[in-house]
Amino acid sequence: MSDPFSDKKARASAWFRTLRDDIVSAFHALEDSRSSGPLSDAPAGRMEVSTTRRASDDGSDAGGGEMSVMRAGRVFEKVGVNISTVHGTLGERAQAAMAARKGIPGMAEDPRFWASGISLVAHMQNPHVPAVHMNTRMFWTPHAWWFGGGSDLNPAIEYDEDTEHFHTVQKDALDPHGADHYPRFKAWADEYFFITHRNRPRGVGGVFMDDHCTDDWEADFALTQDMGRAFLPAFVPLVERRRVQDWSEEDKHKQLVHRGLYAEYNLVYDRGTKFGLETGHDANAVLMSLPPLAKWV
């Protein structure tokens, strides 16, 4: 039986790869410029690319992706930009991790799925440069499809002007799609990226959506693309502004303690982490978001 969604799936998967390539190129350019701190004269970092596979229960092809990771660069202490396109069938626990909605239409009778997306987390050398997260994705089942994703800023040392810039770029990208999108997606990010057991947010927020389906695939795909395109102009100017600042041991301590919050959130609450592990995707790729070093006090 032919899949009437095959073209849309291919377009979405190709777009996530293009966005990955653009981001990696921009991050390499940041590494090529000089920064402050003990690694300012070190060789520029580069992404190491490896193939990832999803493990299916019966050993059949279930898709996979590419994991691009840079460690110990001048600017980035650890950054990963992953893409994947996976498919197969979902058990009950994986269905629960797949979407925010209560129950996915038709999954009990036909548990097939297809998913593609990009996921990025950057942990920085300079404590004045904020950590950041971004992902966009598309899910398909025989009875439903939707988009999700967003980006949020996670500074250890907060600067109001950085937060304002990050949010302004997001708002400008979303406003052409509807005036209600930015305030709604901002509020969703504030709620989603909240560490309940610490009673505090993970960072200074951003935008987030899930289960986004207006029944107009082209419009929803265009919205998702603009969310992805907004990432570099929202984040790169902050890196360029802060990477030249000197930092102290106290600054580094603050950064490492803040990273502990990031690790706690991703291991306890993050739905993408749960979905990746429940569906048999490469564990190293799923846990790429964890920082290389962190502290708890």
Per the CB < 8 A criterion, the answer to whether 211 and 188 are in contact is: no
Low-confidence ranges of the chain (pLDDT < 70): 1-2, 34-40, 56-60, 92-105, 107, 279-281
Q: Which of 165, 145, 143, 140 is nearest to 153 (CA)?
A: 165
Strands 76-89 and 131-141: unpaired
**If DSSP codes are grouped into helix, strand and coil, which group holds residue 139?**
strand
Q: What is the pLDDT of residue 59?
A: 59
Burial class (CB in 10 A: 0-12, 13-18, 19+), 60: exposed
Q: How far apart are CA 11 and CA 100, in angstroms?
A: 24
User: What CA–CA distance (Å, rounded) separates 78 from 71?
Assistant: 4
State phi, psi for 110 to the nearest 5 degrees.
-145, 90
Q: Coil, strand, or helix at residue 130? A: coil
Residues 6+ apart with CB under 8 A from 268: 197
Element (H, E) at 87: strand 76-89
Please, which residues have CB within 8 angstroms of residue 297's CB and are 6 or more apart in sequence? 257
Q: Which residues carry out catalysis? A: 133
- Upper half-sphere CA count for residue 82 (Cβ side, 13 Å): 29
